[in-house]
Amino acid sequence: MTKALESAVDSASAAVLARYDELAALLATMGDRPRCDPDLSAVATAALLHEARLLDAGRFEEWLGGWTDDAVLWVPLSAPAHPGRDQSLLLDDRRRLAERVEWRRDPAAWGQQPPSLTARVVGGVEAWPAPGGGLVARSSLLIEEHRHGRRQQLAGYQVHELVGDDLRRRTKILVVAALGTGVRNPSFLL
Amino acid sequence: MTASDFDHLVQPHRVHRRLYTDPQIFSTEMTRVFAASWCYVGHESEIPEAGDYRTTTLGLRPVLMTRGRDGAVNVLLNRCAHRGTVVAGEARGCAKRFVCPYHGWTYTPEGRLVAIPFPADHPAEDYAKLSLGRLEAASYRGFVFATLNAAPEPLEVWLGEAREALDTIIDRHPGGELAPMGSPQLLEFAGNWKLSWDNAADGLHATFAHHSYNTLGEMVDTETVLARDPGSTPMVSKALRNGHMVVDQRPGIPQGPWATMRNVPFREPLESRLAAAGDGDLLDLATGSMLNLSLFPNLIFVGNQLLVVEPVAVDRTRLQLWLTSAPGAPDEIDLLRLRVDEDFVNFGTPDDLDMFERVQRGLGVPEMEWIDMSRGLPDSAGDAEAGTVSGPITSEAPQRRYLAHYARLMNNPAATRAR
């Protein structure tokens, strides 16, 4: 292997770790942020409510279109956490997000066939300017899920990094307390 | 429940639905099966320092695993000798003393009572009689098991032929080191705990229940190991003594398990980094051993997970999913493991959870009493002396054998006691 190739390999691997560190830091520092920017919070609220509406309606393809190419959806088991050191429910890149949407359409994907009916309540949206442009938002989330005649209610919060004029999702972190205490089939979580 | 009840409920070719639906049977199992067997309670690496502890359950009993000041591992009943309060409320931690939050009784990590507040008011003269209850505990290569059986067979005898598979799983890790990472994922299902046990060595269900996982693999042109015809594969299932079970998928994947892995997130840079360092041959370590081992009644090795089966009620079970790391391997292996194990947990495990709940609902039909377990009969000969049976992975021999062991435990209750 040439030195140039070796260096490219090293930097690609370092980029993975850097992205993981970035995710862990974003989650860990969320509680230390100052009061939010009210105008930016109103902008973020519109984007988050739209996302919740798409997910509850099962419009997953449209939802998938709202992510950047370097997107990460991360669902840790608790917070704080690090995606390179702690087990997570999931950490999806754009490729696995696309597979997840395919999976949701597969009539033999028994974990979601019949699909969960969900109602998301997004509240307490706070947003701040993001260092690289765009915004970072934290919001409370309550999801009621109905499936096979039973219901479960999961509470937590979500962190979004939204970028560009159309506020595409580059990062989403979903923290759901029940993942660390006992949850029934969480495959509806997105 | 009479001694012969389980000869009727567990027959060579079928078992009765009551095993899965009867609250009285469930309650009896918590003592005759769980308290009387060796159960996995944790890994030594989780409690490296004196005073480190972690809590779990054993047949519904709150249990505390501690590292004593002498370095030894103790497994104790997490129940104050005074009023019965659960003493340690956290999942894990480090404590020089365990102080009961109710009335302040204080114990060492070895479970010895060392202080009662206002002792002059208390008639107890012999603190030794008021220790935390103790379980018989033993470790096998870092895996800690405990039992309340009054006269258990030695752990290594109980493991028997399963030791070979356990050694294989441990020894594939550099230096023989593996350790559970952090905290487990906790998944619950509305079904009896034995449904997860029936599933653990079920080589047929993958073709149907996990059909979507197999076709998800096709999307990216990867042949997942589950996508094969289960009837014409060299993979083997084995029923071992004491209800232990093995499914050996390795003969079906001569090219190694990494070749069957889908494109998990961030795979390529980490894979390239390993190859560049000359460690490409370690990539199989990022996947499971392809040797599924089930140690009856509560520990299943699948992928790189330790799956601990925790019964909650006759129709409710909690699965603890502990992802294991390979501390002696390059960092990229654990970084890959994190994403690799998410793959099946997200796209395969939900199928299993759904099947368990569907079966539990179906078993609620009183007019249909029996569950057929006859596939593969008559059992082909294994090692008669060792009490093992081998067969194709479609055989239900492992289920028959573990249930026969279960029936023996239920018919012939062993005495249980706290030390």
**Whether B315 and B257 share a structural domain:** yes
CATH number of the domain encompassing residue A172: 3.10.450.50
Q: Residue B364 is encoded by which pair of tokens?
A: 């609620």
Determine, yes or no, domain membership for A151.
yes
**Whether B114 and B225 share a structural domain:** no
**Whether B120 and B188 share a structural domain:** no
Name the nearest CA neighbour of B209 among A113, A134, A83.
Answer: A113
Test mutation, B212, B264, B306, B316, chain A, max A CBs within 10 A = B212
Determine, yes or no, domain membership for A39.
yes
Read off the amino acid at residue B271: E
Q: Given a cut of 60, is residue A96 above it in pLDDT? A: yes
Domain extent at residue A158:
3-180
Q: By the CB < 8 Å criterion, does B207 face chain A? A: no
Determine, yes or no, domain membership for A188.
no
Name the nearest CA neighbour of B299 among B322, B276, B277.
Answer: B322
Determine, yes or no, domain membership for B351.
yes
DSSP β-bridge partners for residue B179? B325
Determine, yes or no, domain membership for B33.
no
**Of B144, B179, B212, which residue is a domain's last?**
B144
From residue B196, alpha-carbon distances to A105, A113, B311 in Å are 26, 20, 10
Tell me, what's the pLDDT at B217? 62
pLDDT, tens digit, for every residue of B104-157? 999 999 999 999 998 877 776 678 889 999 999 999 999 999 999 999 999 999
pLDDT, tens digit, for every residue of B258-272? 988 888 999 999 999
**Whether B116 and B169 share a structural domain:** no
Q: What whole-number distance in Å separates Cα of residue B59 and Cα of residue B61?
A: 5
**Of B144, B169, B198, which residue is a domain's last?**
B144
What distance in Å separates residue A92's CA from the closest CA in chain B?
6
| Cβ neighbour number for residue B268 with a 10 Å cutoff | 14
Tell me, what's the pLDDT at B233? 74
Read off the amino acid at residue A172: K
Q: Given a cut of 60, is residue B227 above it in pLDDT? A: no
CA atoms within 13 A on the CB side of B2: 4
What distance in Å separates residue B127's CA from the closest CA in chain A?
35
Which residues have CB under 8 Å from A188's CB, separation 6+? A112, A115, A116, A118, A143, A145, A147
Q: What is the DSSP letter of B96?
A: S
Buried b (16+ CB within 10 A) or exposed e, B29-67: bbbbbbbbbbbbbbbbbbbeeebbbbbbbbbbbbbbbbb
Q: Given a cut of 80, is residue B71 above it in pLDDT? A: yes
CATH number of the domain encompassing residue B138: 2.102.10.10
* Cis peptide bond N-terminal to B297, omega within 30: yes
Task: Say if CB A73 and CB A174 are below 8 A apart.
Answer: yes
Chain A residue with Cα closest to B182: A86
Q: What whole-number distance in Å separates Cα of residue B340 and Cα of residue B361?
A: 32
Helix (H) or strand (E) holding B62: strand B61-67
Determine, yes or no, domain membership for A14.
yes
Residue with the larger pLDDT of the pair B370 and B214: B370
Determine, yes or no, domain membership for A186.
no
- Percent of chain B having pLDDT more than 70? 93
What distance in Å separates residue B105's CA from the closest CA in chain A?
28
Residue with the larger pLDDT of the pair A154 and B215: A154
Q: What whole-number distance in Å separates Cα of residue A153 and Cα of residue A74?
A: 20
Determine, yes or no, domain membership for B12.
no
Which residues in chain B have their CB less than 8 angstroms from residue A106's CB?
A: 212, 215-216
The ipTM assigned to this model is 0.95
Tell me, what's the pLDDT at B222? 53
Cβ B354–A110 below 8 Å, yes or no?
yes
Determine, yes or no, domain membership for A185.
no
Q: What is the DSSP letter of B196?
A: H
Domain extent at residue B120:
39-144
Q: What whole-number distance in Å separates Cα of residue A37 and Cα of residue A134?
A: 13
**Whether B131 and B265 share a structural domain:** no
The distance from CA B119 to its chain's CA centroid, rounded to whole angstroms, is: 43
pLDDT, tens digit, for every residue of B357-411? 999 999 999 999 999 999 988 887 666 556 678 778 888 999 999 999 999 999 9
Residues B44-69 have a mean pLDDT of 97
**Whether B342 and B377 share a structural domain:** yes
**Whether B244 and B314 share a structural domain:** yes
Determine, yes or no, domain membership for A156.
yes
Phi-psi map region of A124: left, alpha, beta (phi>0 left; psi -120 to 50 alpha): left
Residues A72-83 have a mean pLDDT of 97
What distance in Å separates residue A184's CA from the closest CA in chain B?
5
CATH number of the domain encompassing residue B219: 3.90.380.10
Q: Which stretch of A87-101, B43-57, B374-388 has the lowest confidence by average pLDDT?
A: B374-388
Residue with the larger pLDDT of the pair B248 and B368: B368
Test mutation, B270, B271, B338, B355, chain A, max A CBs within 10 A = B338
Question: How many CB pairs below 8 Å do chains A and B form together?
Answer: 130
Number of structural domains found in chain A: 1
**Whether B207 and B88 share a structural domain:** no
What distance in Å separates residue A48's CA from the closest CA in chain B?
24
pLDDT, tens digit, for every residue of A53-69? 999 999 999 999 999 99
DSSP β-bridge partners for residue A174? A158
Determine, yes or no, domain membership for A118.
yes
Number of structural domains found in chain B: 2
DSSP string across B230-278? GGG---EEEE-GGG-EEEE-GGG-TT-GGGG----TTHHHHHHHHHHTT
**Whether B180 and B63 share a structural domain:** no
Q: Given a cut of 70, is residue B346 above it in pLDDT? A: yes
Task: Say if CB B14 and CB B370 are below 8 A apart.
Answer: yes
* Banded pLDDT at A2 (limits 50, 70, 90): confident
Cβ A86–B209 below 8 Å, yes or no?
no
Residues B201-213 have a mean pLDDT of 89
Q: Given a cut of 80, is residue B231 above it in pLDDT? A: no
Chain A residue with Cα closest to B277: A6
Q: How many helices (H) and strands (E) does chain B have?
A: 12, 21
Residue with the larger pLDDT of the pair A180 and B194: B194
Q: Given a cut of 60, is residue B318 above it in pLDDT? A: yes
Q: What whole-number distance in Å separates Cα of residue B220 and Cα of residue B216?
A: 7
Q: Which B-chain residues 387-406 have CB contacts (< 8 A) with chain A? A: none
Q: Residue B109 is encoded by which pair of tokens?
A: 């990590």
**Whether B126 and B187 share a structural domain:** no
- Percent of chain B having pLDDT more than 90? 76
Per DSSP, the three-state class of A183 is strand
Q: Which B-chain residues 254-283 have CB contacts (< 8 A) with chain A? A: 263-266, 268-270, 272-273, 276
**Whether B213 and B125 share a structural domain:** no
Q: What whole-number distance in Å separates Cα of residue A108 and Cα of residue B212?
A: 5
Please classify residue A97 by burial: count the beta carbons closer than 10 Å to its beta carbon, then call 0-12 exposed, 13-18 middle and 19+ buried.
Answer: buried
Mean pLDDT of chain B: 92
Phi-psi map region of B104: left, alpha, beta (phi>0 left; psi -120 to 50 alpha): left
pLDDT, tens digit, for every residue of B331-343? 999 999 999 999 9
Which residues in chain B have their CB less than 8 angstroms from residue A95's CB?
A: 263, 265
